[in-house]
Amino acid sequence: MTIGTTTTFLVNRNDIINSSLRLLEVIGIGETAETEDFTNCAQALNIMVKAWQIDGYKLWAVKDISLPLVAATTSYQIGDTATGTGALVTNRPPRIQEAFIRNSSGNDTGLVQISRQEYDLLGDKTISGTPNQFFYDPLLTNGVLYVFPVPSDALSTIHLVIQKPLADFNLSTDNPDFPQEWYQSLKWGLAAEIALEYGVPERKIARIEQKASIYKEQLNNWTVEEAPVFFSPTNR
């Protein structure tokens, strides 16, 4: 018996589309989808992946980004077209999981994330000092980070642990922005997503949707932090 020695198996956008269409019997073994099918299915695949982001934080999609503070600056745009003082040009984070501030000596202090209402109810938002709270507004184009108090100097940097937006499937050769364990779920999920469009019988759609749901639920349960979680009361 010979055991394989590689662990780098990859699929690309068109591999996923072809495999989903085979499940639906739209194409047969050895056949390839038509150009229009690739266009339609790529759109459905991207829509599905964007919707999957609402399921929560995926371990591989958690990223640390740093934002140098600017003295007397209350808010900072974060996004692909971010502008203004202290703007950070990067993919717009859908959500921020946590944040901490690192001073010029390299010491870190956690920041408290507050709601829009809590930020609105703060008193004088121009009070100067070392930020200890933040509110994030994930606007459509660029998110906006508000800090309080306003930085009194430019010697510190805020580190944001964010949910990274999952990459689009633009080219036929694009690989998924997912670990290998998710390939099966992408295949069955796309098949369920496009089944009605391709006139698949309802009985078969129900079976495909059931398997797609099982695979996705298994992965959502697996893709979680393994370290223990501790809860403590807050004075807020």
Hey, CA dihedral for 97, 103, 109, 112, is it positive or negative? negative
Q: 132 and 91, same structural domain?
A: yes
Domain limit, last residue, from 163, 185, 212: 163
Q: Does residue 114 sit within a domain?
A: yes
Q: 63 and 159, same structural domain?
A: yes
HEC-encoded secondary structure of 83-128? CCCCCEECCCCCCEEEEEEECCCCCEEECEECCHHHHHCCCCCCCE
Query: How many of the other CB atoms lie within 10 Å of CB of 82?
Result: 18
* pLDDT for 138: 96
Q: 65 and 48, same structural domain?
A: no
Q: Does residue 180 sit within a domain?
A: no
Q: 153 and 68, same structural domain?
A: yes
Contact 163, 97 (CB under 8 A): yes
Q: Does residue 228 sit within a domain?
A: no
Domain limit, last residue, from 144, 163, 182: 163
Query: For the chain, what is the domain count?
Result: 2
Q: 209 and 141, same structural domain?
A: no
Q: Give 165-169 contacts, CB < 8 A, sequence gap 24+.
A: 165/53, 165/91, 165/92, 165/93, 165/94, 166/49, 166/50, 166/52, 166/53, 166/61, 168/46, 168/49, 169/13, 169/42, 169/45, 169/46, 169/49
Rounded average pLDDT over 15-36: 96
Q: 131 and 50, same structural domain?
A: no
Q: Does residue 130 sit within a domain?
A: yes
Q: 17 and 91, same structural domain?
A: no
Confidence at 4, pLDDT banded by 50, 70, 90: confident
Look up the pTM and report it.
Answer: 0.86
DSSP state for residue 4 in the 8-state scheme: -
Q: Does residue 45 sit within a domain?
A: yes
Q: Does residue 216 sit within a domain?
A: yes
- Token pair recorded at residue 38: 């690739």
Mean pLDDT of the chain: 93
Q: Whole domain around residue 213: which residue ranges? A: 9-55+194-223
Q: Does residue 124 sit within a domain?
A: yes
Query: Which of 26-35, 55-64, 107-116, 201-210 has the weakest average pLDDT?
Result: 55-64
Q: 116 and 70, same structural domain?
A: yes
DSSP state for residue 59 in the 8-state scheme: G
* pLDDT for 1: 77
* pLDDT for 227: 61
Between 35-52 and 13-23, two packed helices, what is the crossing angle to 10 degrees? 100
Percent of the chain with pLDDT over 70: 94
Contact 148, 129 (CB under 8 A): no
* pLDDT tens readout for residues 129-145: 999 999 999 999 999 99
Q: 101 and 49, same structural domain?
A: no
Rounded average pLDDT over 162-177: 95
Q: 71 and 159, same structural domain?
A: yes
Q: 108 and 47, same structural domain?
A: no
Contact 58, 176 (CB under 8 A): no
Confidence at 233, pLDDT banded by 50, 70, 90: low
Residues linked to residue 68 through DSSP beta bridges, in sequence order: 157
* pLDDT for 221: 82
* pLDDT for 225: 63
Q: 41 and 63, same structural domain?
A: no
Q: In this model, does residue 3 exceed pLDDT 90? A: no
Rounded average pLDDT over 105-112: 96
Domain limit, last residue, from 163, 182, 214: 163
